[in-house]
Amino acid sequence: MNYLSIQFGLFLAVAVAAFHVCPRRYRHIVLLAASYAFYFISSHLVILGIFGATVFAFIVGQALDRDPSPGSSERNPALPWMAFGVAALVCYLAFFKVIGALKPWFAHNAITPQWLATFVNANPLLPLGISYYTFRLISYLVDVYWKKLPAERNFVDFAAYVSFFPHILAGPIQRSEDFLSQIRAPDATPSMMTAGLRRMLLGCFKKLVIADNLGLIIGLAYSSGEPATHASSLLAFYLFPLQLYADFSALTDIAVGASLLFGIRSPENFDHPFSAASISGFWRRWHMSLTTWLTDYVFLPLRMATRWAGNWGLAFSLIVNMLLIGLWHNLSWTFAVFGLMHGVFLTADALTARPRAKFFKSHAQWDEAATWIGPLFTFHLVALSMVFVRAESLPQAIGVLSRILIIPAHFWAALENRQTIYALCGFALWRILEFGQRRNWWMPLAAAPTWTRWALYYAVIALVVKFGHNAEGFIYFKF
């Protein structure tokens, strides 16, 4: 169910109305029922998968919590339970990821036995939100094993955490202790609901006015029809990172805003990533709920296990971590290259951190220049890697990169395209609003007369209606 569809709007309105009409002690049940209804509408088979995974993790969590010894003990009898639970969930996710990656091959070859052919042709791939709720379950089991939190005893609360429908399509990946502490007495104040609706409106603006208008131009460089030009390839190189940022942050805005309508505060996913002065800074600001999850449950354990190897262990841990980020999004060669590139970038950044700090300390003029050279250089590294995110194959990515080496005389004429102008103006407006928010320029707006605030809301709606272009679904729905 697309977040921008009329069906989702009606579904959300009914769910919110039922939530607020219901007595507070039953609201967690309403959230669970709404989430499972969301899955049932999207795909009947999805409910079986998420319900089975939830019951499995709930039972394993109870088994882990019976043992009083700390999770750090090497002889902890809870260790086999934790290893079994995590391994089962990883295999569950990997099975659907592999089947999904092989589906194009299945389409051109006979599948036997018949039950496997029926399963593949039924198109349950990938089940709705499987990556996100599997990661939630894994982190829950590991945290219970590490004694960071007790096992949840209320199955309804736990199931609502796993299946919460505003988060399920593209996160953010909220930790169990954060969500469960809020759902025990969920309540949405008028101010929270207002903030939620405002956040959802911003998401619609970023998606329809910025991301989709940019997508029309970027598609020319990756089209399978007419041959792409040098100008379209160069435009796509610079504009796709902006499109992906606008598209994914818009999806997060709608998810976070919808959660506020139910009184649930969600973690943020972005913190001005293109302002980062280094590639490590970029990943601390981009898709933060995923990167912090992988840092806590993949990178740090790997780093501790390989600390005897020094810098080689650090490089290995970083490359494995980033390779997993790439393959988690899509089990393909293009995303593997994307992950490996960022693993190399981060390794180079980490190994040169001390020499760079020493150099800038003794060369103040270069330190000042780095404040604007750093973000520019980082953006180009990110844009280079994102060619492999947008391309459907390695040959297509290489073709785009080969074409951008030449800047033709008519390059600037390509910027005269109407959709490009709309999108870039919208992006500039969005960045101005974000900058003003960081400087607290908009604080007086909260105390402004009601007609002033509504005039602003209507102005944004008018921009969406006038310049919006719903060219495609959210990019992250493909992952």
Tens of pLDDT, residue by residue over 221-279, are: 777 655 556 667 777 888 889 889 988 888 899 999 999 999 889 888 888 898 888 89
Give CA torsion, residues 368, 371, 376, 378, to 10 deg: 120
Report pLDDT for 374. 85
| Angstrom distances, CA of residue 449 to CA of 439, 446, 453, 463 | 22, 8, 7, 22
Worst-scoring range by mean pLDDT, 247-256, 362-371, 396-405? Answer: 362-371
Looking at per-residue pLDDT, the higher value among 448 and 156 belongs to 156
Q: Is the CB of residue 54 less than 8 Å from the CB of residue 137?
A: yes
Report pLDDT for 327. 86
Report pLDDT for 159. 92
Report pLDDT for 444. 53
Average pLDDT over residues 37-41: 85
pLDDT at 283 over 60: yes
**Mean pLDDT, the chain, whole residue set:** 80
pLDDT at 409 over 50: no
Which residue type does 116 have? L
pLDDT at 342 over 90: yes
Residues 291-316: tens digit of each pLDDT: 889 888 888 888 888 888 888 999 99
45-54, 255-264, 391-400, range with greatest mean pLDDT: 255-264
Catalytic (active-site) positions: 329
Report pLDDT for 362. 75
**CA distance linking residue 271 with residue 287, whole number of Å:** 9
pLDDT at 121 over 60: no
Q: What is the pTM of this model?
A: 0.83
Average pLDDT over residues 53-65: 90
Q: What distance lies between CA 61 and its chain's CA centroid?
A: 26
Residues 187-216: tens digit of each pLDDT: 788 888 888 988 898 888 888 888 888 887
- pLDDT band at residue 375 using 50, 70 and 90 as cut-offs: confident
Q: Considering only CA atoms, which of 71, 372, 422 is closest in space to residue 212?
A: 422
Roughly how many angstroms between the first and final C-alpha of the chain, as a whole number? 15
- pLDDT band at residue 71 using 50, 70 and 90 as cut-offs: very low
Looking at per-residue pLDDT, the higher value among 466 and 185 belongs to 185
Average pLDDT over residues 39-66: 84
Give CA torsion, residues 164, 168, 173, 174, to 10 deg: -10
What lies within 8 Å, CB to CB, of 344 at 6+ separation is 319
Q: Is the CB of residue 390 less than 8 Å from the CB of residue 222?
A: yes
Angle subtended at Cα 233 by Cα 228 and Cα 235, rounded to the nearest 5 degrees: 130
pLDDT at 157 over 60: yes
pLDDT at 382 over 90: yes
Q: Is the CB of residue 236 less than 8 Å from the CB of residue 390?
A: yes
